[in-house]
Structure 1
Amino acid sequence: MGTAAIARPAVMVSPASYKPAQAALGIGFLVLATACFAVLDTTVKYVGAFVPVLMAVWFRYMFQAVLVTAVMLPVRGRGLLRTEHPRFQLLRGTLLLTVSALSFVALQYMPVGEFTAIVMITPLVVTLLAALFLRERVTALRWALVVGGFSGALLVVQPGGDVIGWASLLPLVMVFTYAWFQILTSKMARTEDPITMHFYTGWVGALVSSLALPLVWQAIPDATAFALLCLIGLMGTVGHFLLILAFARTQASTLTPYLYGQIGFAMFCGWLVFGHVPGRFELIGIALIVLCGATASWITARDRRLPVEQPEA
C-alpha cells in the first residue's frame, strides 16, 4: 500500500499550534510521501513476477523494523519501547501486516493506478464501520458519499476488466481490514507515541511474517532483485516518516486534498513501467472515488472526528 500504502500517522498538528508559514512545507512532505507510496506499489507489482509475495512483505517490514530501531533507539532509549497497550500494538501490527499481504497480492492482478484508487475509499469505509459498530452519527451527506465511493469502486473493478474472479475481492477485503486498523489507531493515538507505534508496527510485521517465510523462501535471482526488495522497504519507511512530518506541521483539512495525488503518481508509474492506461469507465470510477473520498476526508478532518490514515504497504 501504499498500500502499499503506508499509514497516515496518528500525530496531527492542533489548530492552536498551526502556523500558516509551515503549510507549504507540510504539503511538500505529503506530496513526496504519496510519490514514495506510488513507487512502492509499482515496485511490488514488478518484483512479484519473480519473487514470492511473502518475501516482498517480509523485506518491507524487516527493513522498517531495523531502520527505525537503528535511528530511534539511540535517541529515545528504552522510552521507544514504552507502551500502555502491548496487546493492541500486536493487534495493530497484525492488522497492518494483513493489509500489506492483501495489497501485495492484489497488485499482481490489477493495474497500480486502479488499485490505488480503490484504496482511497478507505475513509468512506471508516465512516460506514463507525456508524455500524461505534454508533457514530452519520449525516445524509456522508451516506451519499459512501454510496458514491463504492459506485466508483465498482466502475474500477468492473466485469470484463483487468481483475476477474476472486482477485477482484482482494482490494475490497483489504480496504475493510485497513479501516479497522485506522479505527484502532485513532483510539491508541490518545495514549501512544506515533514513533513507538511505528516501531512496533515494523517488528510485529517482521516477526509474524518470519514464521511463514521458510515456506516460500527462495534464492533471490540477482542483485537487481535484491535492490528492488530493499527499495520496497525504503519507500515504505521513508514515506511514513514524511507523513509524520507533514501532519505534524499542517492541519489535516489542508493536507487532505493532496492525499489523492497518489492516484496520479500511481497512474504515471503504471504507464511508465507497464504501459497501462486506464479505460474510460475506470477513469470515471477513479474521479468519483476522488470526489467522494476527498470530500468525506475533509469533513472528517474539519470536524476532528475519527482520524483517518492514508494507506501503507
Structure 2
Amino acid sequence: MTALTVPIAGRALAGIALLVSATACFAVLDTTVKAVGAVVSVLLVIWFRYLFHAAAMTAWLLPRRGRAALRTGHPRFQLLRGALLLSLSLMGFVALQQMPVGEFTAILMFTPLAVTLMGATLLRERVSAVQWLLVIGGFAGVLLVVRPDGGDIGWASALPLAMVFISAWFQILTARMARTEDPLTMHLYTGWVGALVTSALLPFVWQAIPDARTLALLVLVGVMGTLGHLLLILAYQRAPASTLSPYLYTQIAFAMAFGWLVFGHVPGAIELTGIALIVLCGALSGWRTARSRLPVSPPED
C-alpha cells in the first residue's frame, strides 16, 4: 500500500458519505413536500424551495467569489437548465400528492437508463447489448411499480414517467455544461431561475400560511432541497461517478422508510419486485456509464 492509497481511499469514503447524506435529504424533501402539499398550493411550496435555494447560494457564494460567481459562458443554457429543473419540480410535487414516496422515487431511478436510451436513439451513441438488456430490465421494473393494468397509482404515474425523460435531457445538458462551467455557478443560476419564475406566478395562487407547523415544513423543503444538491456537488468533487453511482439507490430505501414512518405506506410484493429490478439494472447501468462517459446523478427536485 502506497502513501497515496490512504488519502485516495479516504476521499472516496467521504464522497460516499456525502452522497448517501444527499439521498437522505432528497427523501426528506419528497416526504415533506407530500405532507405540506396537502395543506397549501404546490406552487407556494415550489416558491419556498427555490427562494431558499437562491438566497442561500447567493449568501454563500458572493462573499467568497464576488462577481466571478455569476460568470458563465452559456447564459442561455443556464436558463434552459433552470427551466428544465423547475418543470421537474412542478411535476414531481404534483405527483407526490397522488402516489407513495417510495414508488415515486423508484420510478425516477429509471433516469440513468433513460439517459442510455436517449443517447442511443437521439445522439447516435453506441450502446452495448448488455446496456440494452439493462434498459429493458429497468423498464420492466417500472411497469411492475406503475401496474398499468389496474394498480393503485393510476394517472399520477404518468408524471414521474415524463420526469424520467425530461431529467435525462437535464442530465445530458448538465454533463455537457460541466465541461466548461463551474458547478456551483450552475447551482446558483438554477435557484434564481426557479425563484424568479415562481415569484412572477405566485400572486395568482397566493394563500395565507395557516400555522407555524406549515411554515416550518416549507422552510424544511427549502433546506433539504438546497443542502441535498450541495452535498451532491461536494460528493462528486471527492470521488468519481463510477464509485458513487451504486449508492444513489439508497434514496429508494430512505424514501420507503420515511413513507412508512410518516404515512404508514408499505409497498406490496409486486411493487417491491419492480423496485428491486430498477435498482439492479439502474445501478449496473449507472456504474458502466459513469466509467465511460456521463456523470449520473439523481434527478433534482
Verify same fold: TM over 0.5.
yes
Which of 131, 135, 142 in structure 1 is aligned with 2:131? Answer: 142
Residue identity opposite 1:310 in structure 2? P
Question: Is 1:56 matched with 2:68?
Answer: no
**Structure-2 residue corresponding to 1:306:** 294
Residue identity opposite 1:20 in structure 2? A
Q: Deviations over 1:68-102 (max 9, x none)?
A: 00111000100000000000000000000000111
Q: Deviations over 1:212-245 (max 9, x none)?
A: 2112110011111011001001001111111111
Which of 104, 108, 111 in structure 1 is aligned with 2:97? Answer: 108
Which of 202, 216, 222 in structure 2 is aligned with 1:213? Answer: 202
**Structure-2 residue corresponding to 1:13:** none
Question: Is 1:274 matched with 2:276?
Answer: no
User: For 1:257 and 1:273, how far apart are their aligned partners in 2?
Assistant: 26
Question: Is 1:31 matched with 2:20?
Answer: yes
- Unaligned runs of 5+ residues in structure 2 are none
Which of 218, 227, 236 in structure 2 is aligned with 1:247? Answer: 236
User: For 2:187 and 2:100, how far apart are their aligned partners in 1?
Assistant: 28
Q: Structure 1 residue runs of 4+, over 3 Å off?
A: none
Is the contact made by 1:153 and 1:285 (CA closer than 8 Å) also made in structure 2?
A: yes
Is the contact made by 1:256 and 1:297 (CA closer than 8 Å) also made in structure 2?
A: yes
Q: Which moved more, 1:20-29 or 1:42-51?
A: 20-29
Q: Deviations over 1:192-226 (max 9, x none)?
A: 00000000000001111222211211001111101
Shift of residue 301 of structure 1?
1.1
**TM-score normalized with structure 1 length:** 0.92
Q: Deviations over 1:243-262 (max 9, x none)?
A: 11111111211111111001
Is the contact made by 2:106 and 2:275 (CA closer than 8 Å) also made in structure 1?
A: yes
**Count of residue pairs brought into register by the alignment:** 295
RMSD, matched Cα? 1.2
Which of 150, 167, 170 in structure 2 is aligned with 1:160? Answer: 150
**Structure-1 residue corresponding to 2:158:** 169
Question: Is 1:40 matched with 2:61?
Answer: no
User: For 1:271 and 1:162, how far apart are their aligned partners in 2?
Assistant: 17
**TM-score normalized with structure 2 length:** 0.96
- Unaligned runs of 5+ residues in structure 1 are 1-15
Shift of residue 55 of structure 1?
0.8
Q: Deviations over 1:8-45 (max 9, x none)?
A: xxxxxxxx9x8122121111111111110000000000
Shift of residue 162 of structure 1?
2.5
User: For 1:183 and 1:99, how far apart are their aligned partners in 2?
Assistant: 15
User: For 1:247 and 1:44, how far apart are their aligned partners in 2?
Assistant: 26
Which of 203, 213, 217 in structure 2 is aligned with 1:224? Answer: 213
User: For 2:205 and 2:151, how far apart are their aligned partners in 1?
Assistant: 30
**Structure-1 residue corresponding to 2:61:** 72
**Structure-2 residue corresponding to 1:151:** 140
User: For 1:147 and 1:99, how far apart are their aligned partners in 2?
Assistant: 24
User: For 1:217 and 1:128, how far apart are their aligned partners in 2?
Assistant: 40
Question: Is 1:263 matched with 2:252?
Answer: yes
Residue identity opposite 1:269 in structure 2? F
Which of 184, 189, 214 in structure 2 is aligned with 1:200? Answer: 189
**Structure-2 residue corresponding to 1:91:** 80
Is the contact made by 1:109 and 1:162 (CA closer than 8 Å) also made in structure 2?
A: no
Q: Percent identity?
A: 68
**Structure-2 residue corresponding to 1:124:** 113
